[in-house]
Amino acid sequence: MTRRFEDRIVAVVGGGSGMGRSISLRLASEGAHVYVADLAADAAEGVAKEIVAAGGSASPQQVDATDNASLTALYDRIRTEHGVLHALHAQVGMPGPAGLEVSDEEWAKNIDVNVKSAYYTCTLGFDLLKAAGGKGSITLTSSTSALVGSPFSPIYSLTKGSLVPFTRSLALVGAPDGVRANVVCPGTVHTPMLAQFFGREPGADVSELTKNFVSGIPLGRGAQPEEIASVIAFLASDDASYVTGVTIPVDGGLTAK
């Protein structure tokens, strides 16, 4: 394994499970000190312990990414302990309710989790990324539903779709200070959240729905979270030093059709 993040400071917001966990482990394996931030404190602590047990370096922190004070506390800690942030990944998201009937409460929650959290995760930590001397990187996780319509949850396409132009804007804002910004759009990924995407309707046969959906993927399978992590590691590294403002589908060819 290469050590592209030796002596670098990284934060993964939403790093306690699924893709976020794999991204935290991957960046740590390449030498980063990773702040594993998650709404579930025990999940953040668990991933940080995994990293340390494997010989890496990590700090867990409980963070509610929809709460600006909670995000600010994370960045204040990083500022005090290191004064710089080399890579920031925004992973937080949720599947939206099915169909067009969305209550005010569901609307507000989806906006908070999928849009507000991404915006403030990136902007509140921006000064720390600027301090990285041209090595700052922001990555975000969106979805293929940002690129093609979701017949299951239009609000999910709406909220995740917002991250694509937002990332382009971040890339333009950050360019003078060498802060890059890129977004990945995973398709079907085998994580604990997968069942929530296919099980929105009561009594849904999740295994059958998943099987049918995967059959339409050109590579014939869903992704493992480690496959998403490898793309994030590339984008956050100096290997991608001239890549910014880019949207990358990681979907087994789904959006190529």
Active site residues: 156
3-state DSSP of the chain? CCCCCCCCEEEEECCCCHHHHHHHHHHHHCCCEEEEEECCHHHHHHHHHHHHHCCCEEEEEECCCCCHHHHHHHHHHHHHHCCCCCEEEECCCCCCCCCCCCCHHHHHHHHHHHHHHHHHHHHHCHHHHHCCCCCCEEEEECCHHHCCCCCCCHHHHHHHHCHHHHHHHHHHHHHHHCCEEEEEEECCECCCCHHHHHCCCCCCCHHHHHHHHHCCCCCCCCECHHHHHHHHHHHHCHHHCCCCCCEEEECCCHHHC
